[in-house]
């Protein structure tokens, strides 16, 4: 495990496994790099260099009071790529991490980036607006902020249910997986977790998506209760030139079991193509 220090003095923790073409993973809110452990091991065992960082304010990275915004997240990701001198990298982002990946390319380009994978990602915009009627109403995110502010521990336990689709008939997600979600969530700083709600819900990534000029795989479950597919993947696929859209019927936001296996297969195929 390694660390680097950003231009504003924040320590960022990252994992760096294996050798080969770099594949850099960005995690969702309010988790950390551990959320990608299965994929990190998979790609490292398949001949790639697997890298994942804890977003500032999350996991083992520093918890600054300032800088919990999408532009800074994106700059931190770019600094990770530069500090490790990565070339021809593949960026993989889940949920908020997908927004981080897209904004990083929007701000810093694709000189060092060869491909992009967006899984259950928040772009182009989660918030309902007159121009985005498929989005979720502001009250949804206001409630999340209030729950994070008042009793985030209980909220995270409840959130794991819809995150993994445990409230759906036939769900096989384990209690251990849901407990791991809670543990990672509690490692996020209270300030960072609160601030990030506005960032993943209100940031408009439309122009960033239009700047993607590398092969892009957009993958999403059609029963995602956290980031509804109609407001995200379906729109992103039209904004990114020549993007490939993969929809997993019945899949929730957090993939486990057969859904995760299907994504892993698609990920390896995309990496090797």
CA atoms in the 13 A half-sphere facing the CB of 169: 0
Q: Which of 13, 27, 53, 253 is labelled catalytic?
A: 253
95 given a catalytic annotation = yes
Q: Hunting for tokens 């509690």 — which residue is that? A: 186
User: What's the rounded Cα separation, in Å, for the pair 126 and 132?
Assistant: 8
- 5-25 burial, b if ≥16 CB within 10 A, otherwise e? ebeeebebbbbbbbeebbbbb
Q: Where are the alpha helices (DSSP H) in 164-222?
A: 175-186, 190-202, 206-210
34 given a catalytic annotation = no
Q: Which of 95, 160, 185, 236 is labelled catalytic?
A: 95
Q: Smallest Cα–Cα separation from 23: which of 77, 70, 80, 90?
A: 90
Q: Which of 34, 58, 224, 236 is labelled catalytic?
A: 224
273 given a catalytic annotation = no
User: What's the rounded Cα separation, in Å, for the pair 77 and 91?
Assistant: 10
User: What's the rounded Cα separation, in Å, for the pair 95 and 29?
Assistant: 7
Catalytic residue positions?
95, 224, 253
């Amino acid at each position: 495990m390694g660390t680097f220090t950003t231009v504003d003095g924040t320590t960022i923790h990252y994992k760096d496994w294996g050798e080969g073409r770099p594949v850099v993973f960005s995690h969702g809110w309010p988790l950390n790099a551990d959320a990608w452990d299965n994929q990190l091991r998979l790609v490292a065992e398949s001949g790639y260099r697997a890298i994942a960082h804890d977003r500032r304010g999350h996991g083992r990275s520093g918890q600054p009071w300032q800088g919990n915004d999408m532009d800074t997240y994106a700059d931190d990701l770019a600094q990770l790529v530069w500090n490790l001198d990565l070339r021809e990298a593949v960026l993989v982002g889940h949920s908020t991490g997908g927004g981080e990946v897209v904004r990083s390319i929007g701000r810093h380009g694709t000189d060092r980036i060869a491909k992009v994978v967006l899984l259950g990602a928040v772009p182009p915009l989660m918030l309902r607006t007159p121009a985005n009627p498929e989005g979720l109403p502001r009250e949804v995110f206001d409630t999340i902020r209030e729950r994070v502010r008042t009793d985030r521990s209980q909220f995270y336990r409840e959130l794991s249910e819809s995150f993994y689709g445990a409230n759906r008939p036939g769900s096989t997600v384990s209690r251990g997986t849901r407990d791991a979600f809670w543990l990672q969530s509690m490692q996020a700083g209270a300030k960072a977790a609160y601030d990030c709600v506005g960032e993943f819900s209100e940031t408009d990534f439309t122009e960033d998506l239009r700047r993607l000029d590398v092969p892009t795989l957009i993958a999403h479950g059609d029963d995602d209760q956290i980031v509804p597919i109609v407001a995200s993947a379906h729109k992103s696929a039209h904004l990114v030139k020549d993007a490939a859209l993969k929809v997993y019927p019945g899949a929730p936001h957090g993939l486990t079991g057969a859904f995760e296996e299907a994504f892993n297969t698609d990920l390896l195929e995309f990496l090797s193509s």
